[in-house]
Amino acid sequence: MSATELPAEFTLHRRNKFDHSSAVRWVLSHTRPYLWIVVMIFVGAIGNAVLAVFVPMLTGDAFNAMLKSPPNTSVLLPLALTIGISQIVRGVLQLGRNFGAELMAQKMERDIRDELYLSLLGKSMTFHNLQPVGDTMARSTNDVREVNYMFSPGVNLVVGSFMFILMPIFFAPRYHFSLILTPVIFTIIYFIALARYLKQLSPITDEVRATFGRMNTHLSESLDGVEIMKGAAQEGAEVERFVINAREVRNMFVLQGDLEARYIAMLLLGLAYAGGLVHALILYRNGLIDVGAVIAYFGMLQLLQFPTFTSTWAYSQISLGLSSARRILELINRETKLDQNTSGRTSDMRGEIEFRGVSFRYPHPNPSPSGRGARGEGEGQDDGELILKDISFKVKPGQTVAIVGQTGAGKTSLAKLINRTYDISSGQVLVDGVDVREWNLASLRGQISIIEQDIFLFSRSLSDNIAFGKPRATQEEIMSASIAAQAHDFILDFDQTYATTVGERGVTLSGGQRQRIALARAFLTDPRVLVLDDSTSAIDSATEDKIQRAISNASRGRTTFIITHRLSQIRWADLIIVLRKGQIAAIGAHDELMQTSEAYSRIFRE
């Protein structure tokens, strides 16, 4: 696969376009592909409610038949059969409604997970460096599931209960028009109380989800740094911090429960029962309706029990779902400033690298949504200290460049500007005489390989880890790359050799083994520019000579940047750049710098 065919993080396309202007519109836009399911839900809800009201109506007819003199028992069997058949049909419609709601919820959860995952892959490294992993995981798992619950059972019950509210309004006038008064008053007060309830509930559910995200962030950090925590014997302190976070989550749920307990819907239902029954009895006493009408009407009022009961928690579920939707959408809407430039240059690289007056600062941890340009990360932002200041140099194709300097001098930051992991704040970085921002991002990154000091390996086989940058590589190519990286011998020592599965982040391997696997991964992709960020720091002296020869062979014909403190690697570099406090203190070959640069010679003396 050529470099131009490799997918960049910004080239992933969504199958559907969704409305990101607000959480409600975003959720509704996710329902558009499934309008037939929405129709199924509403048909089932309407049919269920209509057939439910048949029971008290037919029961009233049965009472009227029995109160006649003599009682008309002949209608009882037809009425009973009608009730039985109607409730069977009602059950089928209710099943269809529930099935449709659950189907909708599962499809939406799948689509939202897809959209969120693609969005996360499309974010720049600046975003991922600033966004806590635990909070991202909380939004990607629990918040997405809350949106699922918002539809089933949340919306499902709300739609069904709304239809039940309408039934007494529609059917009570068939006995006497004034009987519409109680259900209408109930409905008006019900929705006024509901609006007030949801207004109070919304900030609470927002905070419920936020506190859960903070707790998850702390949990993720604790597990990720468990070795440091145990090494410092700080388990007790971390447990105490987690208990504090968990208590905040509990307190918010208690506050939500307290608000639900004070919701007046059940009191309103009791008043509707009493008022409706008194009204019906007054009409009966005045001879305006019969006994069957009183029984049927009171049975209709009992249908209000369903929306009253469900409103105490179904709307809470919807509020939680909308709070989760806002958190997910906020993550999706955090636009990346890194332009993939799909129409940019895609040719093969020669490997000429030039920095022209480059300055760079990391973006503010909480960048504002305004002023985001497509040119690059941090461009136009004046907050934050400059990491690199007015860097200028030129590297010819095939040269090896050593970047040296004290910790914090900006060595790694400089290297990550080449493949646009970050974009410069000012100046230009050119590859083959073309500004990196004019290159197609996939082509640019596909021809540049960076091996960092903190090696990341996936919980997959050694073979899959080596072939990560070239998934279609043959076993022979994988073995050849591992031999070049001096990894083949120790891989054969494992029982399953190349099929051996490494632990998360490669914890089952030693530091030197991880770095050699990373080198093999880089060799396999055959990049035109190779960046080694202190990538041999964990290699023992017995292996260093072999690794040195492997790097020397790998650097032939390609431009290589080496960030290292090892003097043996610095000496044979074609060009040495000495960084001091983000600026170039000296630049040249080893012999030249030893005579002319105090900063460089001090490195060897130390």
Three-state SS letters, 89-114: HHHHHHHHHHHHHHHHHHHHHHHHHH
For residue 9, what pLDDT is reported? Answer: 43
Which 8-state DSSP code applies to residue 349?
P
Strand-pair partners of 405? 579
For residue 374, what pLDDT is reported? Answer: 33
In degrees, rounded to 5, the angle at the alpha carbon of residue 13 between the alpha carbons of residues 10 and 19 is 105
CATH architecture, domain defined by 397-423+437-605: 3-Layer(aba) Sandwich (3.40)
DSSP-derived 3-state class of residue 224: helix
For residue 106, what pLDDT is reported? Answer: 92
The DSSP-derived string for 268-307 is HHHHHHHHHHHHHHHHHHTTSS-HHHHHHHHHHHHTTHHH
Fold of 15-216+250-333: ABC transporter transmembrane region fold (1.20.1560)
Q: What token pair was written down for 258? A: 């307290």
Sheet holding 583-588, edge to edge: 448-451, 529-533, 559-563, 400-405, 575-580, 583-588
Handedness of CA 331, 337, 343, 344 (dihedral sign): negative
Q: Which of 499, 510, 551 has the alpha carbon at shortest distance from 530?
A: 551
Q: Domain extents for the chain? A: 15-216+250-333, 397-423+437-605
Strand-pair partners of 449? 530
Residue 351 zone, left/alpha/beta (φ > 0; ψ -120 to 50; rest): left
For residue 335, what pLDDT is reported? Answer: 65
Cα(532)–Cα(451) distance, rounded to whole angstroms? 5
Cα(316)–Cα(331) distance, rounded to whole angstroms? 23
DSSP-derived 3-state class of residue 345: strand
Cα 57 to Cα 32, 301, 307, 402: the distances in Å are: 38, 12, 20, 89
Cα 518 to Cα 84, 466, 535: the distances in Å are: 71, 7, 9
Q: What is the mean pLDDT of each run of 10 residues along the chain (606 residues)?
A: 41 64 89 91 92 91 84 86 92 92 92 87 73 82 89 90 92 92 93 87 86 82 70 76 86 85 83 92 92 92 89 84 89 72 79 88 52 35 70 87 81 85 85 86 82 77 84 85 82 85 69 79 82 66 64 73 76 82 83 77 68
For residue 549, what pLDDT is reported? Answer: 66
Q: What token pair was written down for 584? A: 């170039």
Cα(82)–Cα(67) distance, rounded to whole angstroms? 20
